[in-house]
Chains A and B, each alone.
Chain A
Amino acid sequence: MDSHKLPVSLKKTMYEKMVLIRTFEEKLVELSQQEKRVPGMQILANGQEAAAVGIIEALRPDDVIVTNHRSHGHLLAKGAEPRYLMAEIMGKATGVNRGKSGTLHMAVPEVNALMTTTVVGAGAPLAVGAAFAQQYRNESNVTVVFFGDGAAAEGSVHEAMNLAALWKLPIIFVCENNCWAGAQGLHEHCSIGNIARRAVAYGMPGESVDGNDVEKLYTLASKMVARCRDAEGPALIEAKTYRMRGHGEQDHQHYVDKKELQRWSQLCPVKRLKDKMLSDSLVTQAELQAIDSEMEAKINDAVKFADESPYPLPDEALENLWVAVKGGR
């Protein structure tokens, strides 16, 4: 399907989800500037919402995602409740992982966001395991793993891609190339400018796509997912985008060229979809404003819920390590 022929309802849904993510993360920017509101470093994906939404919208609820330290967008796009994510980020007992994870490694098994890892590149072998289980049980479900351009330098990603291609596993490797690995730009950490080309080495399709164009991402993901469901094996998608904020909120990007940042801000994926829908007369300004307000209300509700939630009791730290075994060992 050509991206310009996508149904209007889908475009609206994708707009709504991108706004949800953007609003959620802008709230986190605000909270992280306040004393003791959110523990640890907030690692945000402002400007990268299209990859999360475009790819995940091409999935079914039963499909699995594996994400990383920059996970909020992926989790929200997969359907995680903002309330429980916000509470987790604040370290509250009502958090999606009871405060054990905090902002960094939230897993939401309820929406099949089964594993989240902050060990860069480690998601790829984990996802191979999930995809293997899908193949083993002859399911038509697929697994998507999100990682960055920095992770593409990890040996674990190579091992995972080789094994996935060898066994024709139903897995989509999604590299969100945001041009930065910490403070190192792409040309400083990557031997090849185009990460999708690495797919050739594993005998799987690999395509680069404008990572700030949610419609193109959806269209490409749909194509790759369909191959996977037909047991044609894995694929690599490189979403070319940009990390609009620092690695984390304490990183003020002293090493980033402000003109470059300015250039990419013109390519904001939320604004692009909005402008396009308006110029194609698919929606009215009022409709979009209604969506924006609704998402803002949702995030304000999440913050309120999280603020009002209690912290876990200190000795709850001892819980949740083991699955209990009869006899207690």
Chain B
Amino acid sequence: MMALLSFGQTVRDALDLAMSMDDRVFVAGEGVGVSIHYDPNMPTHGLLEKYGPKRVKDTPVSEAAIAGLAVGASTMGLRPVVEIMFFPFITLATDMLVNHAAKLRYLSGGKSSFPLTVRVKAGVNFSAGCQHSHNLEAWLAHSPGLKVVFPSTPADAKGLLLNAIFDPNPVIVIEELMLYWMNGEVPEGDYRIPFGEARIITPGQDCTVVSYGGAIYTAMEAAKDLSEEGVSLEVVDLRSLVPLDKTAILESVRKTGRLVVLHDATKFAGFGAEIAAIVAEEAFDALKAPVRRVAAPDIPVPLSPPLEKFYRPSPEMVVEAVRSIVRMG
């Protein structure tokens, strides 16, 4: 059975289901119970009314304590799902996540485990400036011990979040704020998507575009435009960055012979560099042209609408990048 839900409602659906299935699951964060936004598309809307203040915890503005709460409670056997309001604020929780959630199991020699989920609101196109918009997935992916997932559709948001909550390891789930209002068909019930399984969104022959999160829609628009000039793109949605579905990336590149990597985060030392390097190391022989990266310029996210629009990679930039390598051979 499928239901038509918004991305935000889907996240709530997953949280609701996890809480109803398992008493160990609780939700905590700033405004997860009572929010300044009274909007049924916000992911924790209505959870407090349903589960009460024991399991839906509004916290002080204390990101380190929120993340510490998750780390400590998880090793005691609970299944915390905590929220960091905006991606740049995760810097305040980074010690707990990078030095503790990610490392304490390793430090224990495999004796302890930390089954926690951190949901973080991300994205670059809601006029809030660089201290509310800054996609830091590369930082997290660069910290061994953390799983990092980045859903692009309502169905993936549900499947990946439920899989995160019941994964025995720490998982960061990155949710793009501007996708919360997007509707999609979502499987009902306990629907989980295993990590490390990329999805081919549109099969194609001429060039692979690897992307994730909201940038997927940029890639799809580019694919549509290019199809009109007879160029077919294969759009690969990674869905999880750690673990990474290398097989899907390499198989696609072996088929098309060309690769464009696309993300809304900045280019230098971004996650796209890892994809490009993997393909260079493991599928160099299949490449007919150089790899191209389409990413944000290496600046903080500006607030003024025309500046922010300039910052975010556009379908036209993807089209240009593809054209430049398709022409080469």
Which A residues lie at the B interface, using CB under 8 A?
A: 64, 66, 95-101, 105, 107, 109, 114-117, 119, 122, 124-134, 136, 143, 155-156, 159-160, 162-163, 166-167, 319-323, 325, 327, 329
Given A95-B109, A127-B72, 20 other A-B residues pairs in contact with their CB atoms under 8 A: A97-B107, A101-B109, A114-B75, A114-B76, A114-B112, A122-B99, A126-B68, A126-B72, A129-B74, A133-B76, A136-B54, A156-B95, A156-B96, A159-B60, A159-B62, A320-B110, A323-B168, A325-B169, A325-B195, A329-B243
Chain A proximity mask over B229-257: 1 for CB below 8 Å, otherwise 0: 00000000000000100000000000000
User: Smallest distance from the beta carbon of A323 to chain B beta carbons, Å?
Assistant: 4
Q: Which chain A positions have C-beta within 8 A of B59?
A: 163
Q: Which residue from chain B places its CB closest to the CB of A169 in the assembled complex? A: B69
Chain A proximity mask over B181-202: 1 for CB below 8 Å, otherwise 0: 0000000000000111100000
In the complex, B125 has a CB within 8 A of chain A: no
Are A322 and B95 within 8 A (Cβ)? no
Complex CA gap A323/B69 in Å reads 20
User: Smallest distance from the beta carbon of B168 to chain A beta carbons, Å?
Assistant: 4
In the complex, B106 has a CB within 8 A of chain A: yes
User: Smallest distance from the beta carbon of B202 to chain A beta carbons, Å?
Assistant: 24
Complex CA gap A327/B80 in Å reads 23
Q: Which chain A positions have C-beta within 8 A of B64?
A: 125, 155-156, 159-160
B105: which of A119, A320, A329 is its contact (CB, 8 Å)? A320
Are B62 and A99 within 8 A (Cβ)? no
Are A125 and B54 within 8 A (Cβ)? no
Complex CA gap A97/B108 in Å reads 5
Are A122 and B109 within 8 A (Cβ)? no
Q: Which chain B positions have C-beta within 8 A of A117?
A: 99-100, 104
In the complex, B144 has a CB within 8 A of chain A: yes
Are B72 and A129 within 8 A (Cβ)? yes
Can you list 12 A-B contacts with CB-CB less than 8 angstroms, sorted by A residue number?
A97-B107, A109-B111, A124-B68, A125-B65, A129-B75, A132-B73, A136-B26, A156-B68, A159-B65, A160-B65, A325-B194, A329-B196
Q: Which chain B positions have C-beta within 8 A of A122?
A: 68, 95-96, 99-100
Q: Which chain A positions have C-beta within 8 A of B78?
A: 132-133, 136
Are B68 and A125 within 8 A (Cβ)? yes
Which of B57, B95, B113 counts the most chain A CB atoms within 10 A? B95
User: Smallest distance from the beta carbon of B316 to chain A beta carbons, Å?
Assistant: 36
Are B107 and A156 within 8 A (Cβ)? no
Are A320 and B106 within 8 A (Cβ)? yes
Q: Which chain A positions have C-beta within 8 A of B26?
A: 136
Q: Which chain B positions have C-beta within 8 A of A97?
A: 107-109, 111
Q: Which chain B positions have C-beta within 8 A of A325?
A: 167-169, 194-195
Q: Which residue from chain B places its CB closest to the CB of A118 in the assembled complex? A: B99
Are B145 and A321 within 8 A (Cβ)? yes
Are B62 and A162 within 8 A (Cβ)? yes
Enumerate B49-85 residues with CB–CB distance to A below 8 Å: 54, 57, 59-60, 62, 64-65, 67-78, 80
Chain A proximity mask over B97-140: 1 for CB below 8 Å, otherwise 0: 00110001111111111010000000000000000000000000
Q: Which residue from chain A places its CB closest to the CB of B67 in the assembled complex? A: A125
Are A98 and B110 within 8 A (Cβ)? yes
Complex CA gap A132/B243 in Å reads 30
Complex CA gap A103/B73 in Å reads 25
Are B75 and A115 within 8 A (Cβ)? yes
Are A107 and B76 within 8 A (Cβ)? no
Q: Which chain B positions have C-beta within 8 A of A323?
A: 105, 113, 115, 168-169
Q: Which residue from chain A places its CB closest to the CB of B113 in the assembled complex? A: A323
